Amino acid sequence: MPHTHTLKFASLNLLNYTAPPYSFYQQHERYNNTQWQQKQQFVRDFLFDSKADVVAFQEVFSAHALEIQCKEAGYDYFETVDSPSHDALYPQVLFNPIVAIASKYPFTFVEPLTPCPELLEYLNNQSDFKFNRTPIKCFLDFPEFGEVCCYVVHFKSQRVQSMAHILNIHNLEDPLLQLLHQTVGAMQSQISRSLEASIVYYDALKTQREKQCATLVMGDFNDVLTSPTLSFMTQGFHPTRCEPCIANNEPVVGLTDAYLFCAASENNTKPFSHYYHGKGNVLDYILVSAHFNPQCALSKVSKLEYESYDAHLNPHQAVEDITVSDHSSIAIKIHF
Q: For residue 92, what is the domain's CATH number?
A: 3.60.10.10
Q: What is the pLDDT of residues 299-317, one digit of tens each?
A: 999 999 999 999 999 998 8
Flag whether 104 is in a domain: yes
Residue 245 has pLDDT above 70, yes or no: no
- Residue 135 near residue 216, CB atoms below 8 Å: no
Rg of the chain's alpha carbons, rounded to an integer? 20
Residues near 98 by Cβ (< 8 Å), separated by ≥ 6?
A: 60, 61, 63, 80, 81, 82, 83, 84, 133, 134
- Percentage of residues in the chain having pLDDT higher than 70: 92
Average pLDDT, the chain: 91
- Number of structural domains in the chain: 1
Q: Which long-range contacts (CB under 8 A, 24 or more apart) does 27-34 make?
A: 27/90, 27/92, 27/93, 31/322, 31/323
Query: How does strand 146-154 pair with strand 214-220?
Result: parallel
CA distance 85 to 317: 30
Q: What is the pLDDT of residues 73-110, one digit of tens each?
A: 999 999 999 999 999 999 999 999 999 999 999 999 99
If you ran DSSP here, which 8-state letter would residue 262 be given?
S
Q: How are strands ordered across the β-sheet holding 329-335? A: 77-79, 98-103, 54-60, 6-17, 329-335, 303-309
Using 50, 70 and 90 to split pLDDT, how confident is the model at 178?
Answer: confident
Flag whether 51 is in a domain: yes
Mean per-residue pLDDT, 108-118? 95
**Nearest by Cα to 100 from 145, 47, 30:** 47
Q: Residue 68: CA atoms inside 13 Å, Cβ hemisphere, count?
A: 5
Flag whether 112 is in a domain: yes
- What's the first-to-final CA gap in the chain, in angstroms? 11
Of 148 and 179, the one with more pLDDT: 148
Flag whether 185 is in a domain: no
Flag whether 160 is in a domain: no
Of 306 and 178, the one with more pLDDT: 306
Q: Considering the entire predicted model, what is its pTM?
A: 0.90
Q: How are strands ordered across the β-sheet holding 85-86? A: 23-24, 93-95, 85-86
Flag whether 299 is in a domain: yes
Residue 249 has pLDDT above 60, yes or no: yes
**CB neighbourhood size of 211 (10 A):** 12
- Residue 280 near residue 259, CB atoms below 8 Å: no
Say what the pLDDT of residue 241 is. Answer: 58
Flag whether 134 is in a domain: yes
Residue 333 has pLDDT above 60, yes or no: yes
Flag whether 173 is in a domain: no
Q: Which domain holds residue 257?
A: 6-155+194-335
Q: Is 173 exposed, middle or buried (0-12, 13-18, 19+ CB in 10 A)?
A: exposed
Using 50, 70 and 90 to split pLDDT, how confident is the model at 335?
Answer: very high
